[in-house]
Amino acid sequence: MIPITKEHKIYIACQPVDFRRGIDGYAALCRSKLQLNPFSGHCFIFRNKRRTAIKVLLYHGKGFWLCHKRLSKGQFKKWPAHKGEVVVLNAQQLNVLLEQ
């Protein structure tokens, strides 16, 4: 289980990303596009272009978690539409976003 608590900030990348990346690729995106430190212990969430899948990157002490969720039907419709690169959510807002 991913250890997300209310102390974590949850960063949602608003723009779609290439899902062929691995942990190092997503960590690089955090640094370059989002201007954030992937080793901060906060949660970073990315989506694919079709809004059918997400990936979650989280550094937890000694290593990274990279989790992938793909919907069997439908899309993530409540994804934030924002002109910037990133939106910050709390745990309750994340649950609403992921409840598809």
Query: What's the pLDDT tens digit per position in 17-73?
Result: 999 999 999 999 999 999 999 999 999 999 999 999 999 999 988 899 999 999 999
**Residue with more model confidence, 75 or 80:** 75
**Domains: count for the chain:** 1
- Residue 75 resides in a domain: yes
Would you say residue 41 lies in a domain?
A: yes
Give residue 2's pLDDT. 67
pTM score, two decimals?
0.89
Position 3 in a domain:
no
Measure the CA angle with vertex 82, ends 79 and 83; round to 5°.
Answer: 145
pLDDT value, residue 8: 82
Q: Is residue 81 part of a domain?
A: yes
Q: Is position 15 within any domain?
A: yes
Instruction: Say if 1 falls within a structural domain.
Output: no
Is 2 a member of any domain? no
* Residue range(s) defining the domain that contains residue 81: 10-98
pLDDT at 100 (0 to 100) = 64
